[in-house]
């Protein structure tokens, strides 16, 4: 019999950064297992509830999935051992299976894909919600059921772009890949989404609210994904940071020319 550490509602809220009302809402929707009742109005929670809440919030923030869709995906994701359930590539694989079974793509996914394409082609400032809705074949009134604003869609698109870069790198880089080879693979993986990611960094530099937070989260996740594939003997965080920095530098040199980047690296342009 598995014995799990149990938490009060207050402890669960503190561990997950959510609210009691949100926990109760998830319970009402059947997203969480029933808690252990110890008294008439007192319940205890455990690691299953903590993991499920973390996954729900990540799927909402990073994939913009509605709770109805998350309810169908969650049991399968929770069966994945350890921290693998929190890897974006696992979400994508599971989501794609469900989308194929339903025979169509969800409006939120169509909007996200159309938004990514528009932001990469034209930049944040030039994209209109009308254009994204038209490309996604979604009514403009429905847009705001999935995204609060154009900026909210941009954040989701930037996060999804970072996840796609990480997924492409992981698929093409053999475990234990050397630093130099890892830089080449990542540089190629970054190329497709570079305009969107650079736009995110530029808006963060302008101190636009929220952009620095999303940029840090996106590149931190990318460094972690890269670091896990690099040759043994190197610290994961350090290896990931080195490869990402060198790959970004290579991308900038391809755009600006070698003479625009000083030997010291990015300090020559920043």
Is 111 within 8 Å of 143 (Cβ atoms)? yes
pTM (predicted TM-score): 0.61
Closest CA to 56 of 39, 40, 33: 33
Beta strands in the chain (DSSP E): 36-39, 42-44
| pLDDT reported for residue 107 | 81
Buried/exposed 60-75: b ≥16 CB within 10 Å, e otherwise: eebbbbeeebbeebbe
So what's the pLDDT on residue 234? 64
CA dihedral 83, 88, 93, 99 (to 10 degrees): 120
Q: What is the pLDDT of residue 97?
A: 57
The share of the chain scoring above pLDDT 70, in percent, equals: 81
Confidence at residue 269, expressed as pLDDT on a 0 to 100 scale: 37
d(CA 20, CA 215): 29
CA separation for the pair 164, 162 (Å, rounded): 5
Chunked in runs of 10, what are the mean pLDDT values of the chain (270 residues)?
74 90 88 87 89 84 73 75 56 57 66 93 94 91 89 93 88 85 92 93 93 91 85 73 91 75 46
Average pLDDT along the chain: 82
Can you give the pLDDT at residue 266? 47
- Would you mind telling me the total number of residues written for the chain in this entry? 270
Predicted local confidence at residue 63, as pLDDT: 66
Structure tokens at 148: 């609060």
DSSP character for 87?
S
Helix (H) or strand (E) holding 205: helix 194-205
């Amino acid at each position: 019999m598995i014995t799990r550490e149990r938490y009060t509602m207050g402890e669960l809220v503190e561990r997950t950064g959510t609210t009691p009302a949100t926990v109760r809402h998830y319970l009402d929707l059947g997203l969480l297992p029933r808690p252990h009742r110890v008294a008439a109005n007192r319940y205890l929670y455990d690691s299953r509830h903590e993991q499920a809440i973390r996954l729900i919030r990540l799927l909402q923030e990073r994939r913009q999935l509605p709770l109805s869709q998350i309810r169908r995906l969650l049991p399968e994701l929770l069966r994945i051992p350890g921290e693998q359930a929190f890897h974006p590539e696992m979400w994508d694989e599971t989501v794609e299976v469900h989308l194929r079974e339903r025979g169509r793509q969800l409006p939120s996914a169509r909007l996200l894909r159309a938004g990514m394409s528009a932001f990469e082609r034209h930049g944040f400032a030039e994209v209109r919600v009308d254009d994204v809705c038209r490309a996604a074949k979604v009514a403009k009134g429905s847009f705001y059921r999935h995204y609060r604003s154009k900026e909210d869609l941009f954040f989701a698109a930037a996060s999804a772009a970072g996840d796609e870069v990480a997924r492409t790198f992981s698929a093409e880089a053999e475990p234990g890949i050397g630093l130099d080879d890892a830089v080449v693979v990542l540089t190629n993986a970054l190329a497709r989404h570079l305009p969107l990611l650079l736009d995110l960094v530029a808006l963060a530099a302008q101190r636009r609210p929220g952009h620095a937070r999303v940029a840090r989260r996106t590149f931190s996740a990318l460094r972690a994904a890269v670091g896990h594939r690099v040759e043994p003997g190197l610290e994961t965080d350090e290896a990931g940071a080195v490869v990402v920095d060198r790959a970004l530098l290579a991308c900038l040199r391809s755009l600006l020319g070698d003479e625009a980047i000083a030997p010291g690296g990015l300090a020559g342009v920043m």
